[in-house]
Chains A and B, each alone.
Chain A
Amino acid sequence: MSTPALRLTDVRKSFGSTAVIMGVSLEVAVGSRHAIIGPNGAGKTTLFNLISGRFPVTAGTIALHGRPIDGLAPHEINRRGLSRSFQVTSIFPRMTVFENIRCGLLWSQGYKYSFWQLVGGQRALNEAAARLLADVNLEARRDVPAGLLSYAEQRALEIGITIAGGANTILLDEPTAGMSRSEAGYAVALIRRISAGKTLVMVEHDMSVVFDLADVVTVLVYGQVIASGPPAEIRANRAVQDAYLGAPAEVA
């Protein structure tokens, strides 16, 4: 079998004496859409924070395409092709929508910390930003400060920033949280579109979104994986139903 996009081996995380992640091993195949579900406090977001380098792991290893990334700083992990969004919207609120997207592109286009060229004059950069803006359907809001966008628009913008750098592994933390039905439907379509050909890992509470999008579902309860497999298998899993999904009737 080929090297997985992400491989977590016995990853542990404690905050002080409180163990939050207690030995998670997980493989995410290249090109798959992988959902992580679990009740509140199961450690889903913490797991994302460990993978993306926001927190250091207490023990265990994390490998991206076979290369270890645990212990690296977030920006180093990002440069290796892993990008993430946040549960609480994380954008650049005082900059315009276009500027937000363009900032997401700068590093991947090789601009680094350059201070001798104007961003406005970089044709390829601006065209790429305009394309992305169209991808996330925010062209009409191009010059609006991002902080003034509606909630759903901000979520779309964040997805835009997340994919801007061309990362091949994308972590989305509750991308449809707090959205109305129609907004969530739109977001799912957007995620399906932008994750084509990429590896997607997402934390999601909305089961209809999970079973709609994911190829593989991993269930995390109290910092441990209790089940992992195709959606149909997870739906039928008794342990999962007991721990998380509640009565089978509700799931169906």
Chain B
Amino acid sequence: MSGGAIRTAARPVAADGAVSFLRRQWPWLAALAFAVVVPWFSYDWSTGRHSGFIVSMLSQIGISIVFALSYNMLMGQAGLLSFGHAVFLGLGGYVTAHVLNATKGGAVPLPLELTPLAGALGGLGFAIVLGYFATKQRATAFAMITLGIGELITSCALMFQTFFGGEGGVSTNRMTGHSLFGLGYGAPIHVYYLIVAWTALSVAGMLFLTRTPLGRMANATRDNFERAQFVGYDPRMVRFFQFALSGLFAGIAGALYTLTYEIVTYDTVAGPMSANALLMTYIGGVGVFAGPVVGAVLIVLLQSWVSLLSNSWLVYAGVLFILMVTFAPMGLTGLVLMHQPIWRAGRMGRLVGPYLRLLVPALLVVLGFVLAVELCSFLTIGAAQGKSFTLSRITIDPRGAGAWLVAGLLLVGGGLCLRAAMRGFGVAWSAVTEDVKRAEVRA
């Protein structure tokens, strides 16, 4: 067979392995390199400091990537919709805070670099206990149980003062004086690099898991849990192990959260945090391993940048979510992947025109929508805050009819054009895909 040929050809095994590893994993390595370099773009050489805003945002991206990927271990890989995933982030965070405080007191001389292990163990431990109940069921019943667990732990967080610290949460200090590299970790940039390292480890770990027997059987039970039973697997145990490991990684995300903010409060275990995981994962795409990474980056950027510009960033995030679920249920990465066969067949050129025709009316609609939302926002919140609505030095009066008329015109006019353009795009798209399919059949 071909085995012999491969064996003789593969003399420099190590070098070959490295090359094929690079060839397969270069996007991840490039992303890692980018993560290492990117804070230096905001470095202020005159003061010798990094932009606090950028570093904090990048740290949050790292935390969110781990959190969203761990969520997708359930959602995308095992087909389990959880409404309580933040529980494991939060509990991992609380455990880390307590371990940090104990380290500070000298009880456990754990180097700061390794404290995410405490979060991982915390997340794993609680996921084993709570997952034992949650994974008894699948589908809707599973979702309901996780919703209940989320509510339960949130209310516990307010009741059990010693562990959760009540409404004030648990404060801590990451400058424990224990470090493998003698670092103080006073500067956020130090913590950022710690986050980069742990995010890289976690991403690699979760990618590894997708290629193990458990990871494959998680896919199998997602696709057809009955068939999985008839090849000897207990789907419940598959769910359980997957749930426990996903809790472990959520716990790491929680530990990184604690190291960044040095405080953990009950809202880290609460519903909105769980919803955030769902939002990031869904917008990025549940069907592709890297999907949640894209979603995490996008949502944190939205959160950080748009919230600086507008009071209404949540409206935009919500509308984006609805649009994605409606028009692109496979998420952004799914949208990109849809173009793969067309790209391979070298037919992308034929879509440029239709995309441009789509872009112009889409921009008009977005503009009209943003204007309308901002006008509303300035009528209510903005007025209360005493802000005025200015666009490049032109002050817009939200009470005047003019701005509303423009918004209405953009929405209606742009919407009508968009509808026509979408129809045209649909025709062009199916023509191209048909063409690609025919070419494939011929080949």
Contacts and interface: CB of A to CB of B under 8 A. Distances in A.
- B and A form one assembly: yes
Interface in A32-78: 52, 54, 73-75, 78
A115 B220 CA distance: 15
Contacts of B220: 92, 95, 103
Contacts of A103: 216-217, 220, 228, 231
Contact of A107 (B209, B224, B231, B241): B231
A91 interface: yes
Given A93-B224, A94-B223, A79 B213 contact: no
Contacts of B363: none
A91 B227 contact: yes
B212 interface: yes
B212 A165 contact: no
Contacts of A164: 231
Interface string A108-119: 100111111111
Task: Indicate the member of A73, A83, A115 with the most B CB atoms within 10 Å.
Answer: A115
A114 B219 contact: no
Nearest to B231: A104
A90 B214 CA distance: 20
A161 interface: yes
B212 A119 contact: yes
Interface in A80-102: 83-84, 86, 90-95, 99, 102
Contacts of A106: 213, 216-217, 231-233
B214 A114 contact: yes
Contacts of B209: 115
A120 interface: yes
Given A92-B220, A94-B223, A118-B208, A74 B213 contact: no
| Interface class of chain B by DSSP | helix
Contacts, number: 97
Interface residues of B, number: 28
A252 B228 CA distance: 41
Contacts of A99: 216, 219
A84 B230 contact: yes
B255 to A, nearest CB: 21
B229 A114 contact: no
Contacts of B232: 75, 78-79, 106-108, 165
A115 B230 contact: no
B215 interface: yes
A175 to B, nearest CB: 15
A122 to B, nearest CB: 9
Interface string B62-99: 00000000000000000000000000000000000000
A78 B231 CA distance: 6
Contacts of B222: 94
A92 B241 contact: no
- How extensive is the interface on chain A, given as a class? 35 or more
Contacts of A93: 223-224
B233 A75 contact: yes
B223 A115 contact: no
A78 B212 CA distance: 22
A93 B225 CA distance: 12
A167 to B, nearest CB: 9
Contact of B241 (A78, A113, A117): A113
Contacts of B208: 118
B219 A73 contact: no
Contacts of B245: 115
Nearest to B237: A113
Contacts of A117: 212-213
Contacts of A95: 216, 219-220, 223
A119 B216 contact: yes
Instruction: Kindly name the residue among B227, B228, B233 whose own CB sees the greatest number of chain A CB atoms within 10 A.
Output: B227
A90 B224 contact: yes
Contacts of A52: 230
7 contacts: A54-B226, A84-B230, A106-B213, A106-B231, A113-B217, A115-B214, A118-B212
Interface of B: 208-209, 211-217, 219-220, 222-224, 226-235, 237-238, 241, 245
Given A107-B231, A119-B212, 18 more contacts: A52-B230, A78-B230, A78-B232, A83-B230, A90-B230, A91-B224, A92-B219, A95-B216, A102-B216, A103-B216, A103-B220, A106-B217, A108-B232, A116-B212, A117-B213, A161-B227, A162-B230, A165-B231
Interface of A: 52, 54, 73-75, 78-79, 83-84, 86, 90-95, 99, 102-104, 106-108, 111-120, 161-162, 164-165
Interface pairs A-B: 5 shortest CB-CB: A107-B232, A111-B213, A115-B214, A74-B229, A92-B223
